[in-house]
Amino acid sequence: MTDLFSMPSMPLPERMRPNSLAEFVGQEHLVGAGAVLRKMIESGNISSFILWGPPGVGKTTLAHIVSKELKRDFYTLSAISSGVKELRDVFARAKDNSIFAKGSPILFIDEIHRFSKSQQDALLGAVETGTVTLIGATTENPSFEVITPLLSRCQVFVMKPLEVKDLETLLERALTKDPYLRTRSIDVRQKDALFRFSGGDARKLLNILEIVVNSFPPEEQVVIDDAVVADRLQENISIYDKNGEMHYDIISAFIKSMRGSDPNGAVYWMARMLAGGEDPLFIARRMLILASEDIGLANPNALLLAQATFDAVHKIGMPEARIILSECAIYLATCVKSNSAYMAIDAAMALAEKGDNSPVPLHLRNAPTRLMKDLGYSKDYKYAHDFEGNFTDQEFLPDGLSGTVFYEPGNNPRENEIRTRMERLWPKYKK
């Protein structure tokens, strides 16, 4: 009989961590046959790059695999616990070891979006001189958090949540390859809950599997179905993990509370995030997006307050920043809502992405040269300010698109005023 104390001390995700590209699951667009990152690895000539994606998709694992495949020295730092001093120590060791190395050492920085400007400046010099080849990992858009000079010297590879087929592979591999799980009698009858709760996160899937298996006595058969998974996870899934376990679920609840005009829900979920150690700037950034996406022209002041909140939180920091964040969240939650600007740009983008390349009408074209003027560029353009009310009727869409409506004013006091004015100025857009 298996004894409880024979259970491995190492968590299942660590036991199942792949050691080669052949074992790596998912991200076919990056490491599949003929994919860009795989070609770089196979050529032995890689440049610095940043892996951007949600937790549990293999960012750290892929960095380790790259170093093993290329037989490069590997250094790792966490942006949370490392500063400029730690960076310089790594650079010194990298220089000392580079004499005997076939290529520059690889420096992996987890959560690179949390590096300060001074830390990123220190890193920039080492990347420029080739002292290290940087592999950064981030769950945040690097365009917002990584300084432009460093970003310009790195390729950004987007990593996606794992697909169901990938989760199937991971589950089957764990059940058949893990030395401990192979000793247990495990009957998987349903997988929907396993995959749903994992949310495309490999680490989360394996953690859930381990929790469920370990909830059964060692001598008893493990039966896994949707009801068992939900029952075993009741306590575990309520914990906010700033490193990713519930990160996206909590922020989703926060956003939806504000979108649904519930200030109480908004401050509750915000409190959960702050208590869990979430970066307050991450929260502020999400409110900035919501101000445009969900409030927009119903109250343009919302965007101004959200921007002011982001700046204030950046300057002040915690714990006082919690008050500023709370004020903004309550304001956004209680605002009249409109997604008209969001819908308008998406409608226009959908047309553009279908390949619409309609030429710009001649009267709207710039005419900086004599030849362009002779060809009719800018001819018949009417300067709005020359007319009463700073308006005159003219066509601003290409031929064939005249009368196309992208912006539909929302049903709220401010946009009802906009609708009335637009219908007066542009009767051709009136439905």
pLDDT, tens digit (0-9, with 9 covering 90-100), for 311-339: 999 888 888 999 999 999 999 999 999 99
Instruction: Round the average pLDDT of the chain to a whole number and report it.
Output: 84
pLDDT for position 246: 60
Q: Quick: pLDDT tens for 85-113.
A: 788 888 888 777 655 556 788 889 888 88
Write out the E strands in 47-182.
49-52, 74-78, 106-110, 133-138, 155-158
Bridge-based pairing state of the strands 186-188 and 74-78: unpaired
pLDDT at position 130 over 90 = no
Q: Does residue 148 or residue 300 have the better pLDDT?
A: 300
Q: Does residue 291 or residue 421 have the better pLDDT?
A: 291
pLDDT for position 372: 74
Q: What percent of the chain has pLDDT over 90?
A: 23
Q: Quick: pLDDT tens for 46-62.
A: 889 999 988 888 899 99
pLDDT for position 102: 67
Contact between residue 39 and residue 71 where contact means Cβ atoms under 8 Å apart: no
Question: How far apart are alpha carbons 111 and 116 in whole angstroms?
Answer: 11
Q: Quick: pLDDT tens for 280-289.
A: 988 999 999 9
Domains plus CATH for the chain?
A: 27-158 (3.40.50.300), 163-238 (1.10.8.60), 247-334 (1.20.272.10), 353-429 (1.10.3710)
pLDDT for position 229: 86
Q: Does residue 101 or residue 151 have the better pLDDT?
A: 151
Mean pLDDT over residues 152-161, rounded?
88
Torsion 422-424-428-430 (CA) sign: positive
pLDDT at position 2 over 70 = no
Instruction: Give the residues across from 110 on adjacent strands.
Output: 78, 137
Instruction: Please count the other Cβ atoms lying within 10 Å of the Cβ belonging to residue 94.
Output: 21
> What is the CA angle 420-422-423, rounded to 5?
65
User: Band of the pLDDT at 1, cuts 50, 70, 90?
Assistant: very low
- Helical H segments across 215-293, by residue range: 226-232, 247-259, 263-275, 280-290
Question: How far apart are alpha carbons 332 and 329 in whole angstroms?
Answer: 5
pLDDT for position 245: 45
pLDDT for position 171: 93
Torsion 178-248-155-133 (CA) sign: negative
Of 67-71, 158-162, 246-250, 367-371, least confident by mean pLDDT is: 246-250
pTM reported for the whole predicted model: 0.57
CA nearest neighbour of 110 among 10, 255, 205, 244: 244
